[in-house]
Chain A
Amino acid sequence: MMRHLISAADLTRDDAVQILDTAEEMARVADRPIKKLPTLRGRTICNLFFEDSTRTRISFEAAEKRLSADVINFAAKGSSVSKGESLKDTAQTLEAMGVDAVVIRHSASGAPYRLATSGWIDAPVINAGDGTHQHPTQALLDAFTMRRRLVGRDAGLGQDLAGKRITLVGDVLHSRVARSNVDLLHTLGAEVTLVAPPTLVPVGVETWPCDVSYDLDGVLPKSDAVMMLRVQRERMNAAFFPTEREYSRRYGLDGERMAKMPEHAIVMHPGPMVRGMEITAEVADSDRCTVVEQVTNGVSVRMAVLYLLLGGNESAVSHTRTEENK
């Protein structure tokens, strides 16, 4: 395993499969009456959030606590980018306090990479989302969800997503989720297609390991999973598309469109969902939609990442862990 988790692109296929397998073990802990492991007892992890994200922070915090780590939450609201010194200063404070790992969320792309490589701090750095760059644990939990649904919970162990056809729909340009997912899904052998209006696809996308289409209806029948990305209403004012209605008509997922997907295909969303523009209530509430599972899986995947980066060699779940998973 690597020392930090900054980008989904840094993971090899074997790294990624190991994380997903470990996450399956972690998921079993959640089924027990006492949902806690002693693995990271005595270790201190700081959740360093320069950008609000209650969902991601709570997910990491739950993962950390289930592994018995001591948790420090540091929210540096509003101070983020205007004066850059704050990141370095904060890092050095955390270093002085002897934290064992830093989970960082930042509005600036590259901030976690800077933190990990500038010598400001020694501890492992886990990227919890940076600007429009990467959100690797989100990609891992998405891949975990897909593997469970499309390959199987037990059948999936040791497996990747070879041959699965995954479609990501929406604001690719501003989406760290899209970037992380394209990298990871490709590494796991899936075929990825991005669907968006041309204004929301980055210049330079042609080098990404995926296809790009502007036509959702054409892609849906060939999709094993369709992941809807968040589209912020502000984008409309910046002329990325003419009106909300037009966006919905061309790129929104409603019941009629969902019916074009194969029987087994699932609908995903990183949440929080804004029902209406990108996804209708009918789709969001259908049993093909995995939004709630994604939240649950997020905790298991983050436990796995923390364990693998911090846990060293001992077994994560000593009494349930079997030889072949080591």
Chain B
Amino acid sequence: MSKILIRGAQVLGGEAQDVLIDGETIAEVGTGLSAEGATVIEADGQILLPGLVDLHTHLREPGREDSETVLTGTRAAASGGYTAVFAMANTHPVADTAGVVEQVYRLGQEAGYCDVQPIGAVTVGLEGKKLAELGAMHDSAAGVTVFSDDGKCVDDAVIMRRALEYVKAFGGVVAQHAQEPRLTEGAQMNEGVVSAELGLGGWPAVAEESIIARDVLLAEHVGSRVHICHLSTAGSVEIVRWAKSRGIDVTAEVTPHHLLLTDELVRSYNPVYKVNPPLRTEKDVLALREALADGTIDIVATDHAPHPHEDKDCEWAAAAMGMVGLETALSVVQQTMVETGLLDWAGVAERMSFAPARIGRAKGHGRPVSAGEPANLTLVDPAYRGVVDPADFASRSRNTPYEGRELPGRVTHTFLRGRATVVDGKLA
């Protein structure tokens, strides 16, 4: 492999430096590095980040290849600056055996755009009744470390307790989709002022908060670590903050859309805004931003949820829940966190690369930008302004809530182990 010199990039938003990539690794970081024998990328004014890691992606393969495949999803991920994604288990068949997780893992390696780390189901068929073969999935070639029934909540307290205990044997973590099922029967949107007016079934904040409260207490009781998926309410933030202050080993994620959008948008009845957990209120959005800034919420995860056009081009109640997010995540974080002064770029690197890699134990990702490390890197032009056009997406699905919105920032280059997957904003 050839040498690449990234010249004058602000590493993690700091002083401009040169970074020399040689083969799969970073050879040197410094100033005035020699360009001899290297392809030069002039990166004036650009930010160099460790390759982004998404702990929560839906790739849909196997089973719903009309929405997304491992190939199209990882192309979307690379476009968004990601070098590793964790693929959720709610595929068809469900990723609840070593066979399925190995297949997904292998498809990721073959596609070559981004490392795909499969997430294993906690329970067989996501049914919440019987533990899946968690150990076998961990021992498989996929080396699963994160387990989740995402899309559904592990609502049985005993099953949740056992899962938390069981994965301790191999350093695993259970990622909980916190949604009390009885409290959210028929739920269509956040329960509150807007749902009252629109006559749509309410998804109350307490349905999320009560599960989080229970799970942090369970994690404390059995001495395990638990990860909370897509935290969406101000109350959830308070509970996680309390749990951390008490020393409980809990981590939490927030999605870009919960950092920017509110349930006021549902007034349009446009199903592009239908997502689970639902868009909440302005007060929640501000609390989530604060919590991400102060570290109560550890990471940003996309919950990239591709759906084909016909599943959204219908009345609200019939529409599928979810939004695509891989290609817009960094821009939304720049707008909501960096440009508001809540977070600097080093903070972005922590929440979108270092921490998610740590939580998921992703090898070779979320590493410092320094000599000898794997060259998983993302170069961002923060000055760029553009209007989101879903026609440009690499994802097979176009269900973005940002169509027609102006968002800042653009990923110009992504490198996966020294190989460019994105060059000048285009897939390589």
Contacts and interface: CB of A to CB of B under 8 A. Distances in A.
B196 A202 contact: yes
Contacts of B318: 81-85, 87, 108
Contact of A109 (B193, B200, B314): B200
Nearest to A173: B196
Interface stretch (A129-137, A157-165, A261-269): A129-137
Contacts of B269: 109-110, 113-114, 117
Most chain A beta-carbon contacts within 10 A, residue among B196, B200, B268: B196
**Interface size of A as a range:** 20 to 34
A108 B191 contact: no
B310 interface: yes
Contacts of B193: 204, 206-207
Contact of B198 (A83, A118, A133): A133
Most chain B beta-carbon contacts within 10 A, residue among A82, A132, A176, A205: A132
Interface in B192-207: 192-200, 202, 204
B29 interface: no
B196 A207 contact: yes
Contacts of B319: 84
A298 to B, nearest CB: 21
Nearest to B192: A204
A208 interface: yes
A149 interface: no
Nearest to A134: B199
Interface string B247-283: 0000000000000000000001110000000000000
Given A106-B315, A114-B316, A85 B199 contact: no
B313 interface: yes
B159 interface: no
A87 B315 contact: yes
Interface string B309-328: 01101111111000000000
Interface string A191-223: 000000000001111111000000000000000
A114 B202 contact: no
Given A81-B318, A113-B269, A179 B199 contact: yes
A109 B196 CA distance: 11
A108 B316 contact: yes
**Interface size of B as a range:** 20 to 34
B133 to A, nearest CB: 34
A131 B202 contact: no
A175 to B, nearest CB: 9
A208 B204 CA distance: 19
B210 to A, nearest CB: 15
A21 B314 CA distance: 37
A130 B197 CA distance: 13
B85 to A, nearest CB: 29
A173 to B, nearest CB: 9
B169 to A, nearest CB: 42
A179 B197 CA distance: 7
Interface string A154-185: 00000000000000000000001001000000
A111 interface: yes
B316 A204 contact: no
Contacts of A36: none
A88 interface: yes
Contact of A110 (B192, B196, B200, B310): B200
A117 B313 CA distance: 12
A204 B204 contact: no
Nearest to A120: B313
Interface string A99-126: 0000000111111011001100000000
Contacts of B200: 109-110, 131-133
Nearest to A106: B315
Most chain B beta-carbon contacts within 10 A, residue among A109, A131, A132, A208: A109
A84 B199 contact: no
Nearest to B318: A84
A108 B195 contact: no
A109 B199 CA distance: 6
A204 B199 contact: no
B199 A133 contact: yes
Contacts of A83: 318
Interface in A258-298: none
Interface string B11-31: 000000000000000000000
Contacts of A107: 317
A110 B267 CA distance: 9
A109 B194 contact: no
- The 7 A-B pairs at the shortest CB distance, nearest first, are namely A84-B318, A84-B314, A204-B196, A133-B199, A110-B269, A108-B317, A132-B199
Given A85-B310, A87-B318, A110-B199, 20 more contacts: A81-B317, A84-B313, A84-B314, A84-B317, A85-B318, A106-B315, A108-B316, A108-B317, A109-B199, A109-B269, A110-B198, A110-B316, A111-B316, A114-B314, A133-B198, A202-B202, A203-B196, A204-B195, A205-B196, A208-B197
27 contacts: A81-B318, A84-B311, A84-B313, A84-B314, A84-B315, A85-B313, A88-B314, A107-B317, A108-B315, A110-B198, A111-B315, A111-B317, A113-B269, A114-B269, A117-B269, A131-B199, A131-B200, A131-B317, A132-B199, A133-B200, A202-B196, A202-B202, A203-B195, A204-B192, A204-B194, A204-B196, A206-B193
